[in-house]
Structure 1
Amino acid sequence: MLSPTLITVALAAAMIGALAGVLGTFLVLRGQSLLGDVIAHASLPGVVAGFLISGERGFVPILAGALVSGALAGLSVQLLRRGAGVKSDAALGSVLSLFFALGVVLLTVAQSQGGSAGLTMFLFGQAASVLRADLLPMAVVGGTVLLVLVLLWKEFQLVAFDREAARAQGLPVERLEVLLTLLTAVTIVLGLSLAGVVLMVALLIAPAVAARQWVRGLAPMVWLAALIGALAGSGGAVISAMGQGVATGPVMVLAAVALTALSLLLAPERGLVARWRRQGAARQALRGRQVLAALRGLEGDHATPDYASDEAMLQAYLGTDAGPALARLYRDGLIRPAARLAPEAAARRWELTEAGRLRVEEGGQHA
């Protein structure tokens, strides 16, 4: 029987995972995956500042500080890129390093003053700190984020896929990007107690990357990313509960990465297995066309329309084993076996059928 604590943690993890998957979709499509990493790490100085200002480890002041710090970092990246013309990678790296270093310094100050025990849980998360009373506020905040996305769905969709087209239509692109950054910061702050500033970015990116392998449209990708994020969150919580002292946040991340790896491997169109199959089929088709062309060329060389080519001759002509290609061509009715030169001859001889000649003349795309 599941304990009430596990149910609480699993529900919170499912909510955070689903919300992270939704916001992560826009980060991935906009090519700003590292922005989530910057906001997550930049939340650390806000966490410590909230503790230093309030004098306690209450969730409200600490998460409020994290939100302010994370949002400020995200906006700083936008300002450096749009206003100062700094390249994206340089802006992301500079802001991440600055805010995280500031957080480490503030954490040292807090430790020197005493009473800062427990702040380090925001680095890697501590699921046991999530209480049942936290579920409703998390649901309200998460629902508000989703409501904003629904109300501005068309605008966010256009900004994600074609920023210049959005600007040409008169949309406030910069403000929409700022709003997306703020929504991302809110999502990260909600997940700090579960995954921490170090691992939260994985919950943003992994579900979106996994969903991208299975679907094409934005709406299906958002729904699927939310589902994968929820599965990774709740599944990670349940799996971690099976082990003694196993941290929930890292297991959630491992679950999300595992689902992403399976998607990269098994997705029907973009997966590696499907890609290997297409490449193999393309190689087979190419080899078949080469064999047909060789048969046709030998007919021309011998000025005999029905010239039968010896299999060993074909392999020497092509410089490779033609057996598998010949078997496929025969199965497809493009070639047929011819009589051997002598009954005791070991090698088979092949000739083109009318369908095979037509395929060669048309420059057929399949064999």
Structure 2
Amino acid sequence: MNDFVEFFSFVDANIRYVTLGSVLLAASSAVVGCFTLLRKRALVGDAVAHSVLPGVCLAFILSGTKNPLILLVGAFVTGWLSLVSIDYITARSRIKEDTAIGLVLSVFFGIGILLLTSIQHSGDAAQSGLDKFLFGKAASLVGEDLIVFSAVAIVLLITTILFYKELKLLCFDEVYAKSIGFPVRSLELLLTTLTVFAVVVGIQAVGVVLMAAMLITPAAAARFWTERLGVMLVLAALIGAFSGIAGAFVSYTAPAMPTGPWIVLIVSMIAIISFALAPKRGWVARLLRQRKNKTQILEENLLKLLYQLGEAHEDYFSNRNLESILERRNFPKRQALAGLAKLKRQGYIQRHPDGWSLTIEGEARGKRVVRLHRLWELYLTQYLQLASDHVHEDAETIEHIITPELEKRLMEELNYPALDPHQTRIP
């Protein structure tokens, strides 16, 4: 508790630097990562992260100092060159983008390791700590670093806000953006520059190895909670900021724990929770939705079957025993009994000593499912020219998802038909 109070009081200047720096780095990277994710270029962040290392080393060799602004400029140059190289290779050769990313990543990173090794064996005392760009060391952030990285993070966020509409259109409909005169190539270069800036800023905290996770993971987690880009950007920034604070706090309470990897670990845990528990797109919600759909299909198939059993003598409310139901359609017995029990609770059927019978509500719902099935069969034979003996399976699937609006349109398109392709009456 004392550690918690001491940390969040922010009395210690080092705590302020590390926490604020981590929050800005994580939040700005997450916002830019949203556009990278939506452009389906998630691996680009990894390529840039590995490609900034030679720029950092060259900037140190030429300047002889670890000034964060100079190192940032060097990292930006090689990071930007790596993206231009990927685009050039993809456009001018038969090599696909994923292969180009692998080639550029390995070449640039290999050069960076060679330069870093050379610097470490040069005997220059100023090179101490330069290897933190490999794995990150957020705890080493000082006031000078914070000023530079804060400025870059603010530029990233302001640029994203100013070009929000253009970047949104680029991500979702590039062809339309071209057709209305948007400078698509310039916007792509802008997004490329923003991505490079985000990576360059973040490597100080988590290093080149983990930077791709900081760029993409918050965006991927936020994507599971919303369908709107504006909300996604805010959520990604909040997730990144929370991870930055939490990682800094863990590192403070356990000094042996590095801040950067903990930031990545926490944001990954948030992503896993999002993948599992997001209300609409999460794994659990998807399983529940699939289970609900299966239950609905079983119930409607049972009602349809009971209605069809009564069609021969137009006797829809007579009792039907389980054997006659299973004889007409091969339902698993346990599923059929569970479905019948649920339909009884819903008021669609009645239970009798010798079987089940439809209620008025059940007869109406069963009639509608039969009608939709036969309408769709007729539509497939008339408009898609399918053989009448090839349409049953498609109708079995589609009958459960046709809305009342689509039903009305089908009736109008087919001119209110009386018979289906098998010359059976459409109720």
Deviations 1:289-337 (A, max 9, x none): 2222333344457885443223466457523312221121011111001
- Higher RCO, Cα 8 Å, sep 6+: 1
5+ long unaligned stretches in structure 2: 1-5, 373-399, 402-427
C-alpha deviation, 1:86, in angstroms = 3.9
Tell me if structure 1 keeps the 8 A contact 2:68–2:144: no
2:346 aligned residue: 332
What is the correspondence of 1:107-126 to structure 2 with a 5 Å cutoff? Answer: 107-115=116-124, 116-126=127-137
**Which of 67, 80, 86 pairs up with 1:77?**
86
Whole-Å separation in 2 of the counterparts to 1:318 and 1:268: 32
Deviations 1:95-146 (A, max 9, x none): 1111011111112221221234322211110112101343233222221222
Deviations 1:77-106 (A, max 9, x none): 222233546421122111111101111111
C-alpha deviation, 1:151, in angstroms = 2.3
| DSSP 3-state at the match of 1:128 | helix
2:321 aligned residue: 310
C-alpha deviation, 1:171, in angstroms = 2.1
What is the correspondence of 1:24-173 to structure 2 with a 5 Å cutoff? Answer: 24-84=33-93, 86-115=95-124, 116-173=127-184
Deviates more, 1:84-93 or 1:163-172: 84-93
1:225 aligned residue: 236
Tell me if structure 1 keeps the 8 A contact 2:82–2:104: yes
Match status 1:356 vs 2:362: yes
Match status 1:200 vs 2:211: yes
Whole-Å separation in 1 of the counterparts to 2:72 and 2:162: 26
* Compared CA separation, residues 305 and 172, structure 1 to 2 (3 A): closer
Tell me if structure 2 keeps the 8 A contact 1:298–1:307: no
5+ long unaligned stretches in structure 1: 342-348
Instruction: Tell me how many residue pairs correspond in the alignment.
Output: 358
Whole-Å separation in 1 of the counterparts to 2:222 and 2:313: 57
Tell me if structure 1 keeps the 8 A contact 2:69–2:148: no
| DSSP 3-state at the match of 1:264 | helix
Deviates more, 1:82-91 or 1:242-251: 82-91
Deviates more, 1:121-130 or 1:85-94: 85-94
2:421 aligned residue: none
Identical pairs, percent: 37
C-alpha deviation, 1:268, in angstroms = 1.3
1:22 aligned residue: 31
Deviations 1:252-284 (A, max 9, x none): 001111111111111111111111111000110
Cα RMSD (Å) of the superposition? Answer: 2.1
* Compared CA separation, residues 240 and 44, structure 1 to 2 (3 A): same
Match status 1:13 vs 2:26: no
| DSSP 3-state at the match of 2:351 | strand
1:319 aligned residue: 332
2:226 aligned residue: 215
Whole-Å separation in 1 of the counterparts to 2:307 and 2:166: 58
Amino acid at match of 2:356: W
Tell me if structure 1 keeps the 8 A contact 2:68–2:148: no
Match status 1:4 vs 2:13: yes
Amino acid at match of 2:233: V
2:3 aligned residue: none
Whole-Å separation in 2 of the counterparts to 1:23 and 1:180: 8
Tell me if structure 1 keeps the 8 A contact 2:45–2:215: yes
